[in-house]
Amino acid sequence: MTSTEQRAGRSGARLASRLDHRGSPYLFVSPYFLLFAAFGLFPLGFTLWVSLHRWKLAGDKEFVGIDNYTFLLTNERFGAAVVNTLGMFTLATVPQLLLALLLANALNKRMRGLLYLRMGVLIPMVTSVVAVAIVFSQLFSHRYGMINWAVELFGGEKIDWTASKLTSWTAIATMVDWRWTGYNAIIFLAAMQAIPRDLYEAAAIDGASPRRQFWQITVPQLKPVIIFTVFISTMGGLMLFAEPMMFGNGRLDGGTRGDFQTIGLYIVQAFRERNNFGLAAAAAWLLFVLILVTALVNYLFVNRLRGSK
């Protein structure tokens, strides 16, 4: 082998070594980004393109610019769906996270059967959302529901839970809370167990009560996790679909007056009953923007509370 061939061989080996060290990390993570581009970015861009058209199921399409967005932003029914979504989100998310925090704190104590109790809070999460919606629809039934039976037992009158915004929002928020409180509690519990015990021991020596330890030590240490759960709950709460649909016996209009029609129901109604893919795509994009704005507001609010401590 000549000296020129030896230098070429060493150069090739160095290049292969450099590619192995610098290129292999990108090669390993590339499947995720390729799948994300195929099933995340492309649908997002295609939905934006469809939203700029009057697009029918048969394939007829006409470019209309931002007409679909203009229609939605001035449409009373869509505005009501936005209000319903935000109302149910607020009623469900705030008590859900507070209950999850208190439940996690209780599960972090020493008690008998702790493993079974921790596993028990996850049962609602593995239950089918349709089954949950059917059971709760029966519980909130006007004539024979158990909730109205309890109301009458204490001297009240039966409530038609589907007849007004507040009652229907409350019923649907109850379904959401029952299903997701345990999930958030397990996340909080995992974070609580990572808090150094030295902090609690030092606080106990200083005479801090358990309640003060919870608010002065536990909650501040959990703030990154609280911000995470706020993000996740915001996305889930604003995309409500199955619970309000099952509560309305499969209707997409959210009752006769649209009292509990969410944006998710409006989107499906737009392309199933109105045969207008462009309008549904525009509503989906407005929902996407609403989620971004709400998540940003929640982040700033929680972060401000964090800074005020």
**Is the pLDDT assigned to residue 150 strictly greater than 70?**
yes
- What CA–CA distances, in Å, run from 306 to 45, 56, 221, 224, 303? 36, 49, 10, 9, 5
- DSSP-assigned states of every residue in 24-90: HHHHHHHHHHHHHIIIIIHHHHHHHHHHTEEE-TTS-EEE-TTHHHHHHHH-HHHHHHHHHHHHHHH
What value does the mean pLDDT take over residues 206-229?
A: 86
pLDDT score for 153 = 87
The per-residue pLDDT for range 100-114, each reduced to its tens digit, is 999 998 988 888 888
pLDDT at 281 over 60: yes
**Do residues 240 and 88 lie in contact, with contact meaning Cβ atoms separated by under 8 Å?**
yes
Q: Which domains does the chain have, with CATH numbers?
A: 4-64 (no CATH), 71-307 (1.10.3720.10)
pLDDT at position 176 over 60: yes
* Cα four-point dihedral sign 279, 281, 287, 292: negative
> What pLDDT shows up at residue 306?
58
19-40 pLDDT, tens per residue? Answer: 677 777 788 888 888 998 888 8
Nearest to 166 by CA among 259, 237, 40, 233: 259
Average pLDDT, stretch 286-295?
A: 90
pLDDT given at position 128 = 82
Burial class of 56 by CB neighbour count within 10 A (0 to 12, 13 to 18, 19+): middle
The DSSP-derived string for 116-131 is HHHHHTTHHHHS-HHH
Whether the per-residue pLDDT at 307 is higher than 60: the answer is: no
Q: What pLDDT digit, counting tens, does each position of 253-264 carry?
A: 888 788 889 999
Q: What tokens does 108 get?
A: 């972090």
pTM here is: 0.80
pLDDT-based confidence at residue 2 (cuts at 50, 70, 90)? low
Nearest Cα residue to 141 out of 154, 158, 129: 158
Q: In which band, very low, low, confident or very high, does the pLDDT at 70 lie, cut at 50, 70 and 90?
A: very high
User: What's the whole-number mean pLDDT along residues 206-222?
Assistant: 86
